[in-house]
Structure 1
Amino acid sequence: MAKEKISFLHSADLHLDSPFKGLGNVPAAIFEQIRGSTFDALEALVRLAIEKQVDFVLIAGDVFDENQHSLLARMQLKAAFEKLDAHHIEVYMSYGNHDFTEGSQFTDQFPENVHVFTDQQVRSLPFRKNGKTAAKIYGFSYRERAVTENKTQEYTIEGTAPYHIAMLHGSLHSDKEHDVYAPFHLRDLTEKEFDYWALGHIHSRDVLNQLPPVVYPGNIQGRSKKESGEKGCYHVELKNGEAETTFHSLQQIRFENLTVDVSSCTDPQEMVPVIERHLEDCRNRYGKAILHLTFFSNCSVLEDWHQTGYLDDTVDFCNEIDQFDNRWAYIQGYSIQVEHSWNQEELEKGHHFAGELAKRFQETDDITRYLHPILHHRKARKYLSGFTEEEQSEIKRMAENLLMNQLLKK
């Protein structure tokens, strides 16, 4: 017997009320738009649901950025749900490690179309269509910040509904790039008889399995250079045991990492039109964009421009001539990459001072003790709490390039 088609949006990690740490140095006009971008992306999610006339919307955890979020954020979410209710669209929602329920200052006061998984035990909630149960949705919410046990054994098919859809805010057991919560092995999911696994927690889009679909939609709005590219949700249609998934962009401000080749520039002023061409392209393609640029050159003079502050001046000038209206592209940070004239491998084989220095850089993994004086400086310690591994690697790379550039100049 043919199953009636159902359709839904699979979203996760809305992170409403995100403070966008690290972006406080951008102009006030831009920062206000950045602060509102998660709410604007939520509005785009609602518009898409109405446009596609879906049966329901899934939000798989981390609805808010923090457990102690603002009243404004909760009222914005409620207003969005009321718009969906006016179009007879249901919502199934769980809380994650960011907005765990223990100690929350608010109670859920959402319209009747909203169904929240209220505890940490996996439960099922029915979706009814035309007077019949058309699907069962399974999930749980984080009661505390860290759920460290594998929850998949709690997902058990209940009843004889046409479709069974599982929501899980967690990560692969083998994940080395993110904090691991509610860890699972892929086979834990694929061995069960669910029609769709709606995952959350990882902010990059990823389809872990096709049959059954095991899907991360990523977050709906990027928040830093680490969350660059297209952000949004999946539109899913289930019919007769088959799933059709289509990704839709929702981000209102695009974060992008771009490489800008300035090898042809012999004067830092010549970089301005090169940069401006990239900014104009981003404005045309994305509307609004926060950029991290990597300036590339095959000439070591780029490092001199960096050390003398010429690159800072150039970037500041390009940011100032931009217009912050409905289309803008802002350079939030930059790094440099120089294609050196020396051969690193040959250099390390040499017995001269530069060769010994190159070998020392390769042998030195931990530079913490060299950064210790900076972190404990009377003035700097007010602003610095430490350096990440990525930042330490960048500091080491820049130090090596600076020294080698000075040593090996003609």
Structure 2
Amino acid sequence: MVDSAHQPTESTEDEPPGPALVPAQRRRRFTVDTTPLRIKPFRRLWSSTVVTAIGSQLTAVAVPLQIYDDTGSSALVGVAGAVALVPLVVFALWGGAIADLRDRRTLLLFSNAGIAVTSFLFWAQAALGMHSVAVLFVLLAFQQALFGINAPTRTASVARLVPEAQLPAATALTSTVAQFGQILGPLLAGALAPVLGISTLYLVDTLALVITLWAVWKLPPLPPLKTAARRAGLKDVFDGFRYLWPRKLLLVSFVADIAAMVLGMPRALFPEMADTYFGGDAALGVLYAALPVGALLCGVFSGLYSHIRRHGVMVVLSVAAWGLAVAGLGLAHSLWLAALMLALAGAADMISMVFRGVILQSEATDEMRGRMQGVFTVVVAGGPRLADLLHGTVGEAVGARGATVGGGLLVVVAVVLLAFVVPAFWRYVPVAAKRE
């Protein structure tokens, strides 16, 4: 579906026309396609994402570390995951509805400022030595509620800032930054926490969020295109599900990701696999890092994505590749092979994420795009947490290897069945690609 939302709201920077661009265009066929960064509004949104992707990981590491340091309880660290999930799910769905009915720039300013204040309060309680798990849980719940509003709003804004033909490149740039943050953020947290203390991690995240407010402030207004701005209610949330149900292309893209994450994300088994098969704690760090490293390396070659027309095929093949790589992890008898399988899985996940994101941006109309991004946020955040429960339970019964191999193969079966039941998804080509 094409609407005026796909036209950038601010002119791009001047670039020399004609032959002078040819070498750059050739390079972009293989390396990161930075064309969307020529558009000032998108560049501002993306630059704010760069900072927050790293800063948010500092807090993501600091909270469970502080809980464990204060209590010595891994169970309470696990409870923190549930405390974070519930408000994230609720407010991602509601926040998506708000993003469709209010100015998205205003909503980004509000949510970014709220997250910055919450990070400051995290710093204050740590600096004052409160040692209260209850306070941490309350702040964590508020932070995740604000993130639930921010994430779908931020993502839904992309299609208003770049032309439709540049959506694959823009989505790849955003996803690559997220993966980069997942690698660099925890590394910085691990290096800074013993030297500067946990409170410093919160403070750095706070300062980073304050800096991003200027980039968000400079965005153009992003009001609703077809409806007057108004308050979002429960009916608007359910309207999003009613909108999604008959649109099989969008529905299949969500189901494919749920299948990949729930059936094929053996993250909960990494500690057992590291201890039993690969030599202990050092191996655990390798297993956790391999997924985002593979995704980041795949993002480096995202220039190829803009030249692919069969987006449905790419989703099906990448999800199947994820499943096969996870099954390979379960069969691996050496750490280097396990890391390779996880890196391949991370690369496949990056490809799947990009093309599912483009399908969503292209097929959802602007007045529903925020709500669809809210569902997308719930799927991305909730799927791995359900997988932790499933794989932990099944792994206890059949062993880590059996659960990992079986889950990976089930992913392949599930995505092949989806392609068979909804052949239109396999044949899907976006309108912009058809016009070329």
Shorter-chain TM-score: which interval? Answer: under 0.3
Whichever of the two has the greater Rg, that structure is 1
Q: Give the structure with the larger helix fraction.
A: 2
Which structure has more RCO (C-alpha within 8 Å, separation ≥ 6)? 2
TM-score (norm 1): 0.22
TM-score (norm 2): 0.21
